[in-house]
Chains A and B, each alone.
Chain A
């Protein structure tokens, strides 16, 4: 399956990935609406994104989260009841909520961010 991989040691915190993601999925340049987040911490930059581990599938009360045939974990937004348990239970903290929406959102490994990354700190890999 396709997964977005991370090499945080290469990240220069240019935040181009966040712009690419929010522009792709929400048609605006807004890091709060990105499915990938760059955190600049004292010990170095941290890249937060989904590993497609599927923990969220098992905590969803309504089976609105499933793994598709390519291995990508996807949210069925019409079935989602907006409880956000998946946000609180994500081990990577990579399931997100924004006040403008009543459903969570996450990375589906589309690769748009990787294309914009100048240092290959993020890249799509087939597992």
Chain B
């Protein structure tokens, strides 16, 4: 049945490999390389002018992932469509298993160890959720999108992983799932009245959510509202980060001159708080440039989505773009003290394999969708 649906929108001959490579959106990949380059330069600077211990590994990791993106782009779209639900189920099972087999880091279990590799099922879920929602709307006839039961089903697809990650507890990922899922439902054409209704319900249930939160989560929200309450907890990181950003000023102190952060005042400076290093060394100008690059990347991907005819392709690309946006927004908002510390890295710039893998595989999916989802693609 899926093959039948598939051939309904595309009857042309299959693409050759050279066609596929030609159809890849290279400017997007170039932008991604630029971001990873900014990451490498910053990591080089953070380690006091050394490729060790972070810059070299960051670069190698990125290059490997870049190869994977190109390879993924040549894989036919229906392969990804067939994988969507199984991947979602697998991610769900692993999320459910975390409390039992996961390894714990101070009160929160988020990781699963498989031999020497440990990974976070919530990361896999970010990809799987995009794929599963795109897959769901691919098959759903237009006139059914607004029917309550067909609004409830994707809500369940989003709700179950949200519930499971809340148990870990990993509030950051849970929020990300909600934002990502709702954005995809919005793009898929779910009538606006549902969003209005949902908004009202959300506001009404705030007190219930508050009372259901873990003490440390409540505390984090309270600390966010009043950072003076806890100068040593999450407030400490934000204070250090704000000092570093302020020290950068408009022009910045210059490459490798970011003394505020070089002296290890900024915690997690090579991962979640890397933006404060960039802000100190390159100043406000540098930060604007960085935001512009991310904006350009997201814009190009949203345009990629418009050019596709296949609904799965459109949603997969838009979902991947939205993931990028959410990472960038929440990371920068955290570093500047706009939202509580949530532990979300700066895409492709922060050191760390997990988020890089998630984002690049998402990009690979989007690229495959772009190559095969346009007219003449198959």
Q: Do A and B come from one complex?
A: no
Write the residues of chain A forming the contact surface with B, with a CB cutoff of 8 angstroms. Answer: none
